[in-house]
Amino acid sequence: MTRDIYRELGVRTVINAAGTYTMVGGSRMSEETLSAMASAARSHVVIKELQRKVHERLASITRNEAAFVTNGAAAALHIAGASAIARKWGRPFPSLSPEQISKSEIIVHRAHRNPYDWSLRLLNCRMTEIGFPNMILPTTEDDLEYAITDNTAAVFYFFMPPGGWVAKGALSLEATIRVASRHGIPVIVDAAAQVPPAENLWRITGQGADACIFSGGKDLRGPQASGLMVGTKDFFSWVEKTAFPTYGVGRMFKVGREEIVGLLAAVEQYVSMDGESRVQWAEDRIAAAMKAFAGSSMVTVERLYPNEAGQPFPQMAFRFAVPGCSEEILRLLREGDPSIFTMAADGESVFVNPITLRDAELDSIVERMKEIEALFLNKGGK
């Protein structure tokens, strides 16, 4: 019998209706991935040898020159930044003087600043900001051109399609790469949550980005503490000198053989998955939920496309006809049995994102929404 560790610990499991949020464990691995990880854990191997084989396979199945498994997208961002600085000076990162590091520059659009860029800020280099996070004066290619100096190590680009939570005002990725490549400056792309679609695993580097970073623990459904970086042979020769198992900064971002193998298994499954029928499944589930509440004076189900991460995958929001009620809805969902975790879409509605959900879980959510609807209707005396 398998052990129920959460029951033993007295930790409640939740249905995750929010999407691939790290605070509730991002996504779930397949049995196939779990068994690959268990198999990796049983023996010792020389990590460098394992990395070489896995990275070669990951590069090939993601149609890239090179790939690297890290312990998360945030870690990958730090490693990519350190690798770019090392590359700029032509020396391994730990051999650089504090002055060399602190005068190195990474260019970033103000529209692309976000809490994950601590991964770059902590490198201790200079962050050169360009443009504004709005459309009154969109960033121009000249703005980027003028920001490039002899100390520029990389341009950082946060990739998120319109409709996602990114601010407006940045150059397109295409224009950014055009300017940077004229100067031989690598472009590092944070696309952590940008699968689906699976094609992004090769499309962004196909446009000329030197490194593109994905979270392994979100929709890729790899180990929660894994990240995938793909890109060019030249840039990745510096990544290999910087990342684990190299001493120096790489050593702080240890990635286990279980994660290395687990992410490979997950990516193999991801690229062979039928993305279109998965979208159709979500559309069908959303249509069914809309139908279940058709004619309700209390609840409206809204289809949202793209989703909050800008992914071409539909999600929905349940809107209640009670001003300012979303916090109470969240509480009622959390306190129900089974417990349901999600986020507010606004003051009166909450997200139900099918991306992490199974059919039986969606059934439970609709059932619970019906109960809450009845509760509110009774309270309102309608």
Ligand X SMILES: *Cc1c(COP(=O)(O)O)cnc(C)c1O
- Interacting residues toward ligand X by CB under 6 A: 22, 72-74, 116, 190, 192-193, 215, 217, 227
Specify the residue, 73 or 350, whose C-beta has the smaller distance to ligand X.
73
Specify the residue, 253 or 318, whose C-beta has the smaller distance to ligand X.
253
3-state helix, strand, coil in the chain (%, to 5): 45, 15, 35
Structure tokens at 39: 């198999």
Q: Identify the CA nearest to 93 among candidates 248, 253, 254.
A: 248
Q: From the CB of 77, what's the least distance to ligand X, in Å?
A: 7
Specify the residue, 113 or 370, whose C-beta has the smaller distance to ligand X.
113
Under 8 Å between Cβ of 69 and 54: yes
DSSP secondary structure of 238-277: HHHHHBTTSSSTBGGG---HHHHHHHHHHHHHHHHS-HHH
Q: From the CB of 149, what's the least distance to ligand X, in Å?
A: 26
Q: Per the omega criterion (within 30 degrees of 0), is the bond before 98 cis? A: no
Under 8 Å between Cβ of 350 and 19: no
Determine how β-strand 152-158 pairs with β-strand 105-109. Answer: parallel
Q: From the CB of 321, what's the least distance to ligand X, in Å?
A: 33
Angle, CA 92 vertex, CA 87 and CA 96 arms, to 5°: 95
Specify the residue, 193 or 362, whose C-beta has the smaller distance to ligand X.
193
Name residue 178's amino acid. R
Compute the distance between CA of residue 188 and CA of residue 197 in angstroms, rounded to an integer.
19
Q: From the CB of 173, what's the least distance to ligand X, in Å?
A: 14
Q: From the CB of 253, what's the least distance to ligand X, in Å?
A: 10
Specify the residue, 227 or 325, whose C-beta has the smaller distance to ligand X.
227
Specify the residue, 243 or 332, whose C-beta has the smaller distance to ligand X.
243
Q: Identify the CA nearest to 322 among candidates 302, 346, 348, 345.
A: 348
Specify the residue, 192 or 211, whose C-beta has the smaller distance to ligand X.
192
Under 8 Å between Cβ of 70 and 291: no
Q: From the CB of 116, what's the least distance to ligand X, in Å?
A: 4
Q: Token match 């290619």: residue?
A: 141
Specify the residue, 72 or 372, whose C-beta has the smaller distance to ligand X.
72
Q: From the CB of 39, what's the least distance to ligand X, in Å?
A: 23
Under 8 Å between Cβ of 190 and 213: yes
Cα 201 off chain centre by = 12
Q: From the CB of 22, what's the least distance to ligand X, in Å?
A: 5
Specify the residue, 144 or 188, whose C-beta has the smaller distance to ligand X.
188
Q: Identify the CA nearest to 376 among candidates 318, 337, 313.
A: 318
Q: From the CB of 249, what's the least distance to ligand X, in Å?
A: 16
Structure tokens at 135: 């459309």
Q: Identify the CA nearest to 271 among candidates 208, 239, 228.
A: 228
